[in-house]
Amino acid sequence: MQTKESAHPADLWSFEFHWIDVALPQEAQALAYDSSAQALLDGLILKIIKSADADAAKAMCALSLGFAAAQNKLAARVFWKICAAYFEALALGLCPLDVYAKRAASQILLTFRTLARGAPDISERLVHDLLFYCAQAVPKPATDAPLLTAVRSAYGLTQADSFLEPPQVNLIGSDPEEQVKVIGSLRIDISLYNVFLNAADEWSRRLLTELGEWALELHRPISESTVGLARSLADSAATVGFRTLSEMARSLEQALQLVQLQAPGLPEHAKVFVDAAEDIRRLLHQFAAGFLKAPDQTLLDALKAIGTIEFPVFEKQALELLPQLGAALRQWTARPENLGARNEVLRVLREFKSRARLAGATHLDETAQRMEAAIEQIETWSLQAAQLEPLLTRFDALQTGFDQLRADPSKAPLSQGGPVVVPLGLQTFLALDFGLKRTGFAVGNRLLRSAQPQGTITAEGDLRFTKIAEQLREWQPDALVVGVPFHPDGAAHENTLRARRFARQLQGRFKLPVFEVDERYSTTEALALGAKDADAAAACIILEQFLRSIA
């Protein structure tokens, strides 16, 4: 069968690109590449891809300006300025949000994550495409889009009309099958496939290089960059449904973290890690050739053996770390301007989080992650002690969770369920935190692995389901996620049965897949966050836990 040519006007646009430090008509406060910025960016990109949300595009414009203001290197600074102009064009409806524009938004997200890890790589092809969209978006009058106008002027993009009419080719194939890549049992959207393969190839190459260099200097600790590359490979492979690669990369990540904590490494560790990185490259090359292959089982077993901490070992470590964390937190609360105490809190918390993850103490790991994110969101300028008091509540919750686990590990399993196998076709989710009178809900996306609280339904009986139906029509999720509460020791109670009945009713009424998530701590954590809508915040916590668990 002859395949139709598939192209986009951007692919046909010949433009000689170079980095120009565009002078913009407005300034912005510098923004760092931290976890709070990533969470905000994830949510905004989700809204743009999902519904072409103009407010989200406007917010992305402001966020891009903040990133640009923080850059010392020309390429990164110019990249974010061009992004700001692109999102301004989207916000004003000057660019159509077609599949290619969505691809560009997804690639901006991937570029952020690359830059946040300290890598300088920026795809000139992506910048070319963004400039193409800026060229198409002709502001009338110019004052309506000052950023777009500045970029167009700097790059001489004033005569866009000449390339608005591309050569007569089949721009986007009408056959839906042409937009899908089939590899074994997987069916992957072609734009997602291309983004994954390009990013994963680069990540795996750098991973192998960094591990090879570390193997020659085992006295050095394994760098955060190396661990981050393995994590990125695991997350992105899971997103496209490449479970075997995700398992290998995740096992490598966990083994790297353990050796990082117990430095120096051993020659046998180095050999296993380098061999695993080479096996990841092999799996990727075969994937690109159209084959799904299994990882080397011997290597996988060796990684799992290295990357596991027994509970008695973790218990001993936690008994040392938690008092250190509490002391540093009290010092910081007593003197909010003491940034040394803040840094010590983060250092100890991150070590505790890593060790909890390696011991399989999933709840403690997630509680520590949320505490870390809350700290990073606190502005250190003119900080008051009252702003730090919620962190003491979070610390108490962390201590209580550890005490419960220590009291009887058999009744409080370390891992609240293994990876959840979710069909690749299910990409968007709506989560519900069930209550007798109030039901919070949140939405999230598998690609971005983040969720956003949306509100609370205050209704009972059939009216509750009518309100839920309204949200389903608005968000069009592929599946639902329901939080199911348990006692701290894991035992079921009356509300456990009610929540499970609610989940069955949802599936029966709306004919959507429904997944259940252990939510025994979600409302407590939402309240500790100081959320204005604790039910919606709890639903968001439930959904983020579910998204992280997807295999």
* CA distances (Å), origin 310, targets 27, 252, 272, 307, 357: 52, 18, 21, 10, 11
Phi, psi of 81, rounded to the nearest 5 degrees: -65, -40
- Domains of the chain (ranges; CATH) run 9-163 (no CATH), 180-306 (1.20.120.160), 311-407 (1.20.120.160), 428-549 (3.30.420.140)
Contact 464, 512 (CB under 8 A): no
List the alpha helices (DSSP H) in 241-338.
Answer: 243-261, 267-288, 297-306, 311-334
pLDDT tens-digit series, residues 374-386: 787 787 777 888 8
Task: Output the six-digit token pair for 63.
Answer: 């966020």
Residue 551: the pLDDT is: 58
Which residue, 347, 327, 333, is CA-closest to 378? Answer: 333
- Rounded to an integer, what distance in angstroms lies between the CA atom of residue 225 and that of residue 488? 36
- Per-residue pLDDT of the chain (551 residues), as tens digits, is 333 444 556 666 777 778 888 888 877 788 888 766 776 787 677 667 766 778 788 889 989 999 998 888 899 999 999 999 999 999 888 887 777 777 788 788 878 877 887 776 788 888 888 998 888 888 776 557 889 989 998 988 864 444 444 333 333 344 444 567 888 888 877 766 777 787 788 889 999 999 999 999 988 889 888 988 898 888 778 777 788 898 899 899 989 988 988 778 899 999 999 999 999 999 999 999 889 899 999 999 999 888 777 778 888 889 999 999 999 999 999 999 898 999 999 999 988 988 887 777 777 887 888 788 778 778 777 788 888 888 888 888 888 888 877 876 544 433 444 456 677 667 789 999 998 889 999 998 876 677 888 999 998 888 999 999 999 988 888 899 998 887 665 667 888 888 888 988 998 888 888 898 887 666 666 665 566 788 898 899 888 888 877 75
Distance CA(544)–CA(206), nearest Å, equals: 29
What is the reported pLDDT for 482? 93
Candidates 490, 294, 491; CA nearest to 405 is: 490
Query: Can you say how many angstroms the Cα of residue 65 is from the centroid of all Cα atoms in its chain?
Result: 21
What is the pLDDT at residue 191? 67
What type of residue sits at position 178?
A: E
| Both tokens assigned to 289 | 């050739």
Give pLDDT, residue 416.
43
pLDDT tens track for 29-50? 888 887 667 767 876 776 677 6
**Residue 64: DSSP 8-state:** H
Supply the pLDDT for residue 10. Answer: 61
Residue 78's pLDDT is 93
Task: Supply the pLDDT for residue 35.
Answer: 65
Cα dihedral value 92, 93, 97, 101, nearest 10: -50
Both structure tokens of 361: 């103490």
CB-based contact 412:404 (threshold 8 Å):
yes
Give the integer Cα–Cα distance in Å for 353 and 533.
27
Which of the 8 DSSP states describes residue 144? Answer: G
